[in-house]
Amino acid sequence: MAYPHANIKCNLYMKLLFGVEAVDETGNGFVLKLKKNIYKQKQAGRVWYEHLKAALEHTGFIASKIDECMFYKGTTMFLCCVNDSIFMGPSSEEIDDAIEQLRKQDSKVEDKGTMQDYLGINIKLLLDGKIKFTQS
């Protein structure tokens, strides 16, 4: 659940959830004022991307000029697609350091180990150090 980590940049309100009723003494109903980004709002993806980009740039990553979902720092690359992301690079120490720096910014980063599959792409580290990508 990536989107709720980003703060909202304007006042947004939503109706109470189905089945929840609340009224004051005059019979007026209530709405909820959102504090965080939620899925299905029009700007949710953009708000999340700006939040992620700011966190990555704060730790020294530079956004690619060709693909705004790719960031670089030293020999480490960060790739995001909607709310799935991966770190890639030859140095596990650099990747671990990048993850730790993001966690210090209250980013909820999960390390799920060595990649074997990402968005339907099979990833295999070959003995010669190359990476093979396949899709079935």
Which range is most confident: 23-27, 56-60, 79-83? 56-60
pLDDT of residue 1: 47
CA 4 to chain centre: 10
pLDDT of residue 73: 92
Confidence band of 61 (pLDDT split at 50, 70, 90): very high
Residues in the chain: 136
Enter the DSSP assignment of 34: P
Q: Average per-residue pLDDT in the chain?
A: 78
Q: Decide which of 76 and 111 is more confident.
A: 76
Q: Amino acid identity of 4? A: P
pLDDT tens profile 1-48: 455 556 667 677 777 777 777 766 666 677 777 776 665 666 767 777
Global pTM reads 0.63
Judged by average pLDDT, the poorest of 25-34, 58-67, 125-134 is 25-34
